[in-house]
Chains A and B, each alone.
Chain A
Amino acid sequence: MRDGLVVRVDGVEVAAREGDTVAAVLVRAGMSSWRRTRHGDGPRGLFCGMGACQDCLVTVDGVPGVRACLAPVGDGSVIETSEVRGG
């Protein structure tokens, strides 16, 4: 990739570009959902894409509840989805 950032998504190295949001990295990697709902266990990813709906929450550098559509990635960002549910 042209700007050479590398981030980790669920332990796997993924290339990213300067200016990418977490959502951009995940969608480019072919993911459309990265969270499961509490009650119905439904898959969720991007919906409003502008920070209003809170659907696209993800864990970044150990901080949970980060809006993937807003958070920029940096080189070495560690992104954890909860698509594979641990409990």
Chain B
Amino acid sequence: MAERYDVVVIGAGPSGMAAAAEASATGLRVALVDQQARVGGAYWRHEPAHAALDDTGMHHDWATFRRLLARLDAVDQLASHAVWSVDHADGGFVVRATHGEVARTPVRLDANHVVVATGAHERVVPFRGWTLPGVMTAGGGQGLVKGTGVAPGRRVVLAGTGPLLLVVADTMLRAGVDVVAVTERGHPLGYGLRPSSWSGAASRSREAATYVRNLAAHRVPFHAGYRVMAAEGTDHVERVVLESRRGRRREYDVDALLVSDGFTPQLELLVQAGAGTRTDDDGSLVVTVDVGQRTSVPGLLATGEVTGVGGASSAILEGYVAGRSITGRDVDPALLDRLAVHRRFARVMHAVHAVDPSTVAELPDDEIVCRCEEVTAGRIRAACRDLGADDPRAAKLMTRAGMGLCQGRTCGRTVADLVALTSGRPVDPDDAPRWAGRLPATPVTLAALAQEAAGVDQT
């Protein structure tokens, strides 16, 4: 029989942990579901032994993790559960998952309330050579170090845009990796030019200063205004070519390139369940929520990056708010004030680290855009010019871009930008929900579907 819960929280990162802790505090039956083997999400990815330590020398805000973990004793923690569907049933919801990346046992949970805290995955704007092994997302490289102690390379360059680059550089230095350069597309001075960020910036700028000092101590050069032009190598990245807006080039020999151009919130489950969405000021598709973190679907709440990319501090606060609003408890106004400060800061962060969509115009025709189906920029451009495609769905049907295993997670934004740029038709805000609303939200085997349909006992 399926388990019935008052609340199922999907995603055990900072926001999901906070929501589960707060909801269970009043005695509600709560499940916290995550596809990773351990709670903490990408932000607190850790080795098994770390959970018992006060300080690992590696994790940020570790005391908060330990405090939240201690509050999850009464919560059913369902690790290694990949949720592929959230559906309406019997006045509540049915959450379908598979347990175990290898075993893939079907699991069904019934819930009165669902909190979606699935976070975001990193965005990478393609460049020549971005499919070469050794090129990976900055957060992915950091997760490998924090979760397993394995470094993604010995000599690395960090590139892209956003505060995460400094954080990951710091992690790599602590792990003994030779960070040969950190490059940022934007200009960090942009924060100083936007006074609305100052009130929320005190703790963040102190944190950033710590990273910058560590970079300086290791003599790591920081280049603002540079982007990656190419990763070169045969079967592995061996060299990175960077270029400034004025055309100045820098080259580094590396064995890993860690890139982050911001984040793409993981909205699949929310769109599936019918929650209303909006386009955030960084261009991301995010879910619309009210002051209690409630979506447009009664009983369905959302917290953290799926409501707007803002970082762990605001994600935790939103988790608390959701946990309280489920039971109709009042939310401390001081908490909402703190959230408002974080959100103002997030808007400034988005502006400073905006990626100009026209940079996809530089992509060579023979470079891959859709990694799964190996669709090149040239084929997408041809679909627009020769076959009349003027929206991402048409381009997808004509070229298979976004039709592979990742279901367009990795290439979606790029395809939309490329189609808009080539066809001249601006990106339609309704395109992104159509692209995101796919079922299943994560690959599921036919065997698991068949067992689920046959009602095989899963407990």
Contact = CB atoms under 8 A, between A and B. Distances in A.
- A, B assembled together: yes
Interface of A: 17-21, 23-24, 27-28, 32-33, 37-40, 42-55, 57, 60-61, 63, 65-67, 69-72
Given A54-B404, A66-B101, A19 B410 contact: no
User: Size band of the B side of the interface?
Assistant: 35 or more
B161 interface: no
A37 to B, nearest CB: 6
**Chief secondary structure at chain B's binding surface:** loop
A21 B47 CA distance: 10
Given A52-B266, A66-B101, A72 B37 contact: yes
A70 B101 contact: yes
A71 B152 contact: no
A49 B35 contact: no
Contacts of A72: 37, 80, 101
B236 A33 contact: yes
A38 B405 CA distance: 13
Contacts of B141: 49
A70 B36 contact: yes
B239 to A, nearest CB: 15
19 contacts: A19-B37, A19-B148, A24-B149, A37-B374, A39-B373, A46-B144, A46-B152, A47-B137, A47-B371, A48-B410, A49-B141, A51-B82, A52-B409, A53-B406, A53-B410, A69-B143, A70-B35, A70-B36, A72-B80
Nearest to A77: B102
A2 to B, nearest CB: 10
Interface stretch (B60-68, B128-136, B276-284): B128-136
Nearest to B371: A55
4 closest A-B pairs by CB:
A49-B140, A24-B148, A54-B405, A33-B133
A32 B432 CA distance: 33
Which among B36, B102, B135 has the highest number of chain A CB atoms within 10 Å?
B102
B409 A71 contact: no
A79 to B, nearest CB: 10
Contact of A21 (B148, B373, B406): B148
Given A20-B148, A28-B150, A69-B140, A47 B135 contact: yes
A29 B134 CA distance: 14
A50 B131 contact: no
Interface string B242-267: 00000000000000000000000010
Nearest to A71: B101
A39 B374 contact: yes
